Amino acid sequence: MRMEAAAAQITAAGRRLDALGWVPATAGNFSVRLDARRLAVTVSGRHKGFLTTEDVMVVDLDGVAENPAQRSSAETLLHCGIYRRFPEAGAVLHGHSIANTVLSRAAGDSLVLAGYELLKVFPGLPTHEAEVAVPVVPNDQDIGRMQRGLDALWDGMGTIPPGYLIRGHGSYVWAPDMPMALARMEGLEFMLRCELEEQRWALEERNLR
């Protein structure tokens, strides 16, 4: 993909996710694969709702900037890890919603989503009569170590869902292209919001007894 097209997709994604409240302040980061060895990714410290094409830079699959004067988020290495592991991945989104932050703090090693119509945003699930165990991984300021933990996790999994949660931090999703990545992010976040609402209702019912 040409850099101009990738930057346009990334800035549009920023406006979309900002409107939904999933990238507050300067949180979140997005990327698009340019070719086998390079990706376009958001620079560090920008509000994603106000991105311009100047806020998108190029790095290689090791996270090394093509222009040394630009700096990407440290979490760029997590994007690189996805592109290295999954050749079909063409776009990666990372967001920080209230639902994914709260639920991941209380979850175990995974958060199971079952019976939702929107499970169809995940590959191989044509109906709602299915479930997906979304991995929940520990937050770690050492991003390289976090990525090594993800690689070990994926090595031990049979079916790998195209997304995971970082405990108390946010969600990652990926897809062959940006439109599908946005659909997966929206589908995942809808289901997480439903889970959070169900927990709230259950707590209110217990308090009323």
Residue ranges per structural domain of the chain: 3-208
Task: Write down the pLDDT at residue 130.
Answer: 82
> For the residues 69-91, what does the mean pLDDT come to?
95
What span, in angstroms and rounded, lies between the C-alpha atoms of 86 and 193? 27
Res 97: pLDDT: 95
Whole-angstrom CA distances from 125 to 36, 84, 122, 179 are 28, 24, 6, 18
pLDDT tens across 11-67, in order?
Answer: 999 999 999 999 999 999 999 999 999 999 999 999 999 999 999 999 999 999 999
Please give the Cα distance from 141 to 158 (Å, whole number): 28
Instruction: Please name the residues in contact with 50: beta carbons below 8 A apart, sequence gap of 6 or more.
Output: 14, 18
| Homologous superfamily in CATH for domain 3-208 | Class II aldolase/adducin N-terminal domain (3.40.225.10)
In tens, the pLDDT along 157-198 reads: 988 999 999 999 999 999 999 999 999 999 999 999 999 998
Cα dist from 119 to 3, 9, 73, 134, 182, whole Å: 32, 24, 30, 11, 14
Interval 106-120 mean pLDDT: 92
Mean pLDDT of the chain: 93
pLDDT at 137 over 90: yes
